[in-house]
Chain A
Amino acid sequence: MSFLAFFLIVVSLVSFVAAQLILKRAMEATTSTGFRNAQFVSKVTGGVILMTISFFLTLGLLQRFDLSYLYPFQGLSVIFITLMAAVVLKEKLSVRLTIGALLISAGIVLVSLS
């Protein structure tokens, strides 16, 4: 795998994780302020843009690599999102959830490597 491919995989992963966190923030805000406010619209727009970037990068990578080859990287998103949600969104992260997320990630990597 070339440096460019690795770089694009990382950019795709980071965009995806950031998008999920931003969208969660946006949807949480709707429970108190509703959907008609600038903050909600800007956050959802930002999340959609980041997800679009991630989507097209993944599509480009799929043209060069097998789905099974790219899947381990998608598996890492479970760990990253779980940890970042605890740090950024202050969601409660129990030992059970952490182990669960690690097992799911490890399982996804095994499924795609075999």
Chain B
Amino acid sequence: MQNRPSGFGNPWLQLALSVACVLVSEFLLKRGATEVANTDSAWSWTGVNGLASPLVWWAILLIIASFISWLYVLRYIPITIAFPLSRIVDILVPLGCWIFLGELISPLRWCGIALVVFGLALVAKPIAQIEERL
């Protein structure tokens, strides 16, 4: 890992921003895609008809923002660390549904969330050691 800028240019902050954008875009994409779903059309496999939904366009904007942050992250952090960490979004989605939408989380899903948290802890441990050395 190289010498990195601090403040808004901090790659860890950019990683968090990238994850936040992906999180919101996932919800927008699902709602947008469902809104304009037309499974009778052969072209619908390509997903292009999803562009008819404004929600999909908002999601695309967020994806572009997330992509720019992600490129910045890739410049400074090894992908073997950055990519697994970015998948925290996979537990934030069900947790968001639980906290904000009142959806229930099954015991199996809690086990999955626990596994992801353990995995993230394992991946994040070397980062703390690297940061200490800097």
A106:B115 contact, CB within 8 angstroms? yes
A56:B75 contact, CB within 8 angstroms? no
- Shortest CB distance B104–A (Å): 11
B114 CB within 8 Å of chain A: yes
- Shortest CB distance B33–A (Å): 4
- Shortest CB distance A57–B (Å): 7
- Chain B residues contacting A108 (CB-CB under 8 Å) are 87, 90, 112, 116
B47:A103 contact, CB within 8 angstroms? no
- Chain A residues contacting B71 (CB-CB under 8 Å) are 23, 27, 44
Instruction: Check A59/B116 contact, CB under 8 A, given A96-B125, A100-B84.
Output: no
Within 8 A of B (CB), among A54-79: 55-64, 67, 71, 74-75, 77-78
B16 CB within 8 Å of chain A: no
A86:B91 contact, CB within 8 angstroms? no
Instruction: Check A103/B90 contact, CB under 8 A, given A60-B44, A114-B109.
Output: no
**Top-10 shortest CB links A-B:** A59-B47, A110-B112, A103-B119, A107-B115, A100-B122, A107-B116, A114-B108, A60-B47, A104-B119, A111-B112
Q: List 12 A-B contacts (CB under 8 A).
A: A8-B45, A23-B71, A55-B47, A57-B47, A94-B126, A101-B123, A103-B119, A107-B114, A110-B115, A111-B112, A112-B112, A114-B106
